Each structure stands twice: as C-alpha cells, then as structure tokens.
C-alpha cells in the first residue's frame, strides 16, 4: 500500500492537468503549431469546436502534427486533402471570418 501512495500522488496532478485541455484548447494549439497566427487560431478554434465533431477535430489535429503549413492558404490546402466537405466548409469559413474580424 505504501508503494501506491507515491505513484498516486504523481498521477493525480497529471490527470488534473490533462482535464484542463479542452477540445478548443487542443484545436487552438494545433492551429498555432500548423502556422496559423495566434489571434486567428483562437477565433477559429472557438468556431470549429462548436461546429465539428470530436472525430473531425482529431482528423484535423493530424495535420498539425505533420508539419507547419507556413501560412493560412497552405493550411487550407492541406485541410482539403482530408476529403471531408464539412471540415473544409467550417475551416475555410472560420478562417475567413476570423481573418477579417467578423467572427463572433
């Protein structure tokens, strides 16, 4: 029993930290890693997490892990390669609205 106590003391903070990672936070961080500016990435993440399923968000996250896009246009080109019309629609509309400041 004494051996489990130190392990559980290490595990609890890790679990609490993981609980802080919401889909919006993960999506925003993934967009930033993909090369999207922070201000646009935050706006896009809010819209995208409201409109896409968790499965679709996971598919998008794979793009961020691959490599940095360089700019928004290159990122959207990579999004189209997923062959999911809803992901493309939501991502492109979010990018456009957020880039010009018209998003909620």
For residue range 13-64, list pLDDT tens digits in order: 554 555 567 899 999 988 888 888 899 999 999 999 999 999 999 888 877 6
In this predicted model, what pLDDT tens digit does every residue of 82-100 receive, in sequence order?
Answer: 999 999 999 999 999 999 9
State the Cα–Cα distance between residues 50 and 90, nearest whole angstrom: 10
Q: How far apart are CA 90 and CA 14, in angstroms?
A: 33
pLDDT classification of 75: cutoffs 50, 70, 90 = confident
CB-side neighbour CA atoms (13 Å) of 25: 6
pTM of the model: 0.73
The CA angle 16-22-45, to the nearest 5 degrees, is: 155
């Amino acid at each position: 029993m004494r051996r489990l106590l130190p392990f559980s003391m290490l595990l609890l903070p890790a679990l609490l930290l993981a609980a802080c990672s919401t889909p919006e936070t993960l999506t925003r961080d993934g967009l930033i890693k993909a090369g999207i500016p922070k201000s646009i990435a935050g706006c896009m993440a809010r819209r995208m997490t409201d409109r896409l399923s968790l499965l679709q968000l996971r598919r998008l996250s794979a793009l961020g892990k691959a490599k940095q896009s360089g700019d928004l246009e290159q990122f959207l080109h990579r999004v189209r390669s997923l062959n999911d019309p809803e992901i493309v629609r939501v991502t492109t509309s979010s990018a456009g609205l957020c880039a010009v400041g018209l998003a909620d």
